[in-house]
Structure 1
Amino acid sequence: MSPRPINTVLITGASIVGGEVADLLIDNGQIVAIGNDLGQNGLAQHGLAKEEVEVVEGKGLVALPGLVDLHTHLREPGREDAETVLTGTRAAALGGFTAVHAMANTDPVADTAGVVEQVWRLGREAGYCDVFPIGAVTVGLKGTQLAELGAMADSAARVRVFSDDGMCVWDAALMRRALEYVKAFGGVVAQHAQEPRLTQGAQMNEGALSGVLGLTGWPSVAEESIIARDILLNAHVGSKLHICHLSTKGSVAIVRAAKERGLDVTAEVTPHHLLLTEDLAASYNPVYKVNPPLRTREDVEAVREGLADGTIDIVATDHAPHPVEDKDCEWSAAAFGMTGLETALSVVQHAMIDTKVMTWAEVADRMSYRPAAIGQVTADHGQPLVVGAPANLTLVDPASQRTVVPGESASLSRNTPFDGMTLPGRVVATFLRGTPTVLDGKLAR
């Protein structure tokens, strides 16, 4: 069931992106007024009576623009046992997201106009957040032939980001052709940076610990070499390149150098790579098995620094749900991936805000403005909270704490690495074009 329709909402006394405290008046999907005591004076000026307005108490809350995730796995079509567009977008709304970009590794793969349009329509029908499909770079994610990039770009889904995420576009000639092709319509190639010949059978980060645990190591250079190669290819072509789930100190340095040269390269980091380290693999609990793997404390500090100084453009969840049988098994047989939509903002608060490395305004930039710009959805998302902007926003209680309980998730899957962890912050409300998808921390019906 889609969220219940509400036309007019007054949010009172919220801190706008962690700054000034003000009321926000929302009517017909837009922010129509921002100021003090709008309940007393502003309603009449807009021809509204108190009984026509739903009031949301915002005291102590931070108002952020609706979060935008550039990297979500919704699994539908084909793996509805792990997630559906409906359940995934419910989880997204609870996490404060008003838009997600759905990765292409579905079954069938989203490598044609027909499949991306199906995912796009399912998102519209669900109504909890906007879903923007990401198209595959190659047919079937096999890395041998370009997919129907132009047809997907011209479809009703208007795809602008293409990725074989889960698989690396390892062939340099094919990657070059993809960058050249999307340049014609301003598209973006988002690369899963993993040199396959360096990661055959890899299970965790390569280092002393992988040797002690007897698990095949996954070297940092497998990621860094592909990033360096693709930056050089992109510099030659003059297109747009995005690096998925960057995870190492060396990768941060490579992207920083590229940006200093003025190249059109963007990068993302996941919440789990901002907080968790390879040490968790010592438990042999497959919930900590992820691609790319959890890295060292030094890598964690480097990606935090990169996110804070803007080298890393955005936080992206890489929400990767799996059914129980794919994770509740021995480490070597378990699937890679972690859920993350409902915990992302809390993890970022814990790692970046509460440590005073970033401000709420910078979080709005890294989790709303920039991902919307990279995904080219700024007509509806990733806009500052100003009069006339679409009323896509979330209210967060930064003083609240919660203990993560997998069984309480809206996702169909339970593979969260934060099980039992107490995290700060709680999403109190999320609004999609003025309609609440979440109220009082619960899904609005």
Structure 2
Amino acid sequence: MQYDTQRDAPHPHTTGLIHHPYKPPGDFQAPQPGVFKASTVYFPTVADMRRREWKDKSAYTYGLHGTPTTYMLEERLCSLEGGLQCVLVPSGLAALALVALAVLKTGDEVLIPDNAYGPNKALAEGELRHFGITHRYYDPMNPDDLSSQITPRTRLVWLEAPGSVSMEFPDLPEMVRRCRERGVLCALDNTWGAGLAFKPFDLLADGAGGEGSLAVDISAHALTKYPSGGGDVLMGSVITRDPALHLQIKLCHMRLGLGVAANDAEAVLRSLPSMDLRYKAHDQTARALAAWWQAQPQCAQLMHPAFAGAPGHAHWQALCEREPGTGLAAGLFSVMIDARFSQAQVDAFCDGLQLFKIGYSWGGPVSLVVPYDIASMRQSWPVHLKPGTLVRFSTGLEFAKDLISDLGQSLRAHLPWP
């Protein structure tokens, strides 16, 4: 049956609204990029549909494979970290999982630092083990231990700088060299550095980049933290420089059906321009609080990479502080409370804080505190850690003196020094 456009005009309240002829002019520009929400993407013709290729971002085929909004975020994140290709995933943990599933198969082995982000270790002990992929933990402060554990079955080495919770800063360039010597892929959880404290694809800071420079193979980043900055978005990224490795990851990403919401991508895009300013503000506040803690007798040990005496401080200096006073560090540090205080007392101290909220994650505007049982998180008690109860602090954007006042009132109330 022939459709007569004159006689059979579209119904104005249904078909007419869906197929409305108006198109806004295409030259609109504003400070924030447009937000494109789509599952279905239209093609002008069947031939055009068959020609389109999503793998190289030359066209759009389906919302899961990318929209102008997600493409833009991916490209800006590549600029931030010095990579060439990026895929977005629903969380930082999803980024770690994607890397593992993309490069490992049954019979392979992955090496993980003993101070790695806990859920990454749980992934290895759970799903990866079920898939016949083995894992071992190495001493992140001992490159020789890493070298000794690499075997012909080792396909992936995870790196973390600094380590989760206890904040040890490894000799990252040397760790990468050891992986290079053995021909093993190395992936970095770069959430702490965030592309600002150091560049994961230019560890010698010589500006070379690419082939011939000292670089990790893969950078996984929890955009939930500093790129988002609001404590209200879950997202992760996986960034590479090698096209073949990127395609391997991207195909796995497609097969797993991983995607992010356009509004979440918009939120991260909106926050990126202020990320450098916020990171430096978090850093400055964290150093003020850490210095205050150093003067308190209840503090048996301070764990902040930028402070002399902290585990791996010299490695942080070598990588992040090329010139005195220029190095950056995230707004994250830990304190070992003297062993004479019980876990219950330390918990009461955390409960007694008014400005610090008890909660996981970091990088948002509100300061956070969490006490940790390090003994349950490590293969054995690290030799460089003193006995006691570890408390991790994440500084927000509050005034440093107000946070110090809050720490002081709860310290006096719940952890009085004899």
Q: Same fold (TM over 0.5)?
A: no
> Going by fraction, where is strand more abundant, 1 or 2?
1
TM-score scaled by length of structure 1: 0.29
Indicate the structure whose relative CO is greater, using CA pairs within 8 Å and at least 6 residues apart. 1
TM-score scaled by length of structure 2: 0.31
